[in-house]
Amino acid sequence: MVRSERLLALLQVLRRHRYPVSGAMLAQETGVSIRTLYRDIASLQAQGADIEGEPGVGYVLRPGFMLPPLMFSHVELEALILGFRWVQKFADTPVTKAASDALAKISAVLPADLQDELENSALLVGPRRIVDTEVVDLVLLRAAIRRERKLRLAYADGAGRFSERVIWPIALGYFEDTRMLVAWCEQRWDFRHFRTDRMREIALVETRYPRRRAQLLKEWRDMENGPRRREGAPTCADPPA
């Protein structure tokens, strides 16, 4: 393994650990001697990586370290450009613009050979079938998800039946032919999926929903990946009296 790849591997291992990890464990995970491990840590620190610790105590990488150009392998670069191209084609306008801006920032700090590879990648994304027909602002949806705020939703289902609900938005899925909001519905007192193109109106409620989004998302995933909970079993929250 060349030195640049070895340093990248060490950074990736450090990123996986939130608490100090011993030099012996780091050396074992990266496949180097403890002496080489100490030299590699010193090299990363010299490049600006905020690695705290010392031999016998352990090491931890503090948040905020920006990846230098050598930190992208060719395969990682291919994964990035494929992801960016998918976002540019299938996401809504604010997100596609953000993706283009992010890609420009990455390209600006890459060496010339990697810049050329980024611009001429042979990985392509298929044609877009979705047509933007939303009448609601997806920026507001994403803000509600980030802030863990309730939403008032006016919605028409596939049969055209209209309903008004209060929901707890937890995730927004992007697909080739539609976009789907995952939310806890106070009316149904269960998880529900809402197509964004069937939303007629949304309004942010300045009330934080009573559960953390991460926990709700875990419960939704458990429900999707396992058998449907039995009738009367506990749900993510007790229903109102």
Do the domains at 3-68 and 138-225 have one common CATH topology? no
Q: Are 183 and 170 in contact (CB under 8 A)?
A: yes
pLDDT at 185: 92
Instruction: Kindly indicate whether the domain formed by 3-68 is annotated with CATH number 3.40.50.10490.
Output: no
Tally the residues of the chain: 241
- List phi, psi (to 5°) of 116: -65, -40
For tokens 């705020």, the residue is 149
Single pTM value for the model: 0.56
- Look at residue 64 in the predicted model and tell me its pLDDT: 63
Q: Tell which phi-psi region holds residue 6, choosing left (phi > 0), alpha (psi between -120 and 50) or beta.
A: alpha
Going through 108-161 in order, the beta strands assigned E by DSSP cover 149-156
* 138-225: CATH number: 2.30.30.520
And the tokens for 61? 């990488």
Domain residue limits, the chain:
3-68, 72-119, 138-225
List all residues 6 or more positions away from 62 whose beta carbon is below 8 Å from its beta carbon. 50, 51, 52
The segments of the chain whose pLDDT lies below 70 read 1-2, 64-72, 108-109, 111, 113, 124, 127-132, 226-241
